[in-house]
Amino acid sequence: TNLVNAFNDLFGTTVPASGAASGNDLKALYDLVGDPLFDYLAFTTLLPKASSLYNKIKNDNTFGALFNSVFGASISAASLSAANRKALFDLVGGAAYDEAAVSAALPKVNSLYTALSGAGATDDQRAAFKALFNTTIPASLPLNPTELGAFFGVAATLGYAEGIFLAALVPTGDLLALLRDVSKTAELDAFNLLFDENLKTTGNVAGSVRKVLFGLTGDPLFNQANLLSALPRTGGLYTALKSNATALSIFNSLFADVLGTSISPFFALTAGPLAVLFGLGGDPSFIPSNFVALLTPANNLLTALQANTAVLGAFNALFGVNLPASGDINATQRAPLFGLVGNPVFNQTNF
């Protein structure tokens, strides 16, 4: 019965719950199932969703007016036209469609469009939006399917705030442009390596890439020049660790307190390892090969100290640290280890 009611509502028919259908109703049914692409299961799945959205548009004047404006529809309490019906089914047929999410996002979409298309937005903001979201900003509504995807993709994001988004557009667009600069091949390669992406110098920007870019520029400590400088060094460190199983194992052990998740040569980096790698590679004087060469001597020194209680106590007293006899060590405890083995004349036995 619910499906019959939904069908009648959307197609302007009077198909009965039982008994014979009228000629007009039969024609509507035959026209529908006669389409070679008709899929009964898909249709009956979407039918209640389309009917629910249709009724929301009819019964909520504010939402209805906004929907028609943004989607270029003319849906009202009157019978649906074929074009308007198609618009409803196209929308509810999306894999991620959720009526509550669409209802919540629609005013935000309209507000964002108004902001970007109005005099209050800068040309740089509009250019950044176009580059980042692979779309245009039309002079007037409605939005086409590509534009709808871009605007809803932004406005429906959890935690979205228009002011913050607009403020982030230019720095994020600038970062994208610099990574795509032909003179920044090393930086782009390192970006793709570290964030497991495949950003090209041209072409559309994937949603996952946008997420990384906005995540970077959204950090209160973000500095574009520092990031671009750090990328090749940090990428070089990651490459060196992945290609040296012994060094990687020692690194994971020595930095276990801050890694959270050990670095694997087979899986993408998570937030913890990324932060540790950038913390090292962010130093302008950092040289990946020199650092990797110190891992084994630092680990050997740690192992020797932890194997001798008296020597460990003397070390802690001399360097003002509290190196444990076992378990993870922290940054304060790592510093003297790397400082010692980094001295060209250091000799563990003599020490």
Using one digit for the tens of pLDDT, what is the confidence trace for 206-249?
999 999 999 999 999 999 999 999 999 999 999 999 999 999 99
The pLDDT value recorded for residue 229 is: 98
Question: pLDDT value at position 95?
Answer: 87
CB-count burial class (<10 Å; 0-12, 13-18, 19+) for 245: exposed
Separation of alpha carbons 224 and 294, rounded Å: 30
Question: % helix / strand / coil in the chain, to the nearest 5?
Answer: 65, 0, 35
Query: What average pLDDT does the structure give for the chain?
Result: 96
Q: Extract the tokens encoding 210.
A: 């946008």
Q: Which pLDDT score is estimated for 348?
A: 92
Those residues of the chain that have pLDDT short of 50 are: none
Q: What is the pLDDT of residue 310?
A: 96
Cβ contact 241:235 at 8 Å:
no
Count of C-beta atoms within a 10 Å radius of residue 105: 20
Amino acid at 51: S
Question: What pLDDT, on a 0 to 100 scale, did the predictor assign at position 74?
Answer: 95
pLDDT tens figures, 56-111: 999 999 999 999 999 999 999 888 999 999 999 999 999 889 999 999 999 999 99
Q: pTM here? A: 0.90
User: Which residues, other chains included, contact 225 with Cβ-Cβ below 8 Å and sequence gap of 6+?
Assistant: none
**8 A C-beta contact, residue 315 and residue 298:** no
The per-residue pLDDT for 79 is 83
| Radius of gyration for the alpha carbons in the chain, expressed in angstroms and rounded | 30
| Cβ within 8 Å of residue 27, ≥6 positions away | none
SS3 324: coil
Q: Can you count the helices (H) and strands (E) in the chain?
A: 18, 0
pLDDT at 338: 97
AA letter at 134:
N
- The CA-atom distances, in angstroms, between 248 and each of 47, 242, 272, 293, 298 are 55, 6, 15, 11, 13
Q: How far apart are the first and last CA of the chain?
A: 87
Amino acid at 112: L
pLDDT the model gives residue 166:
97
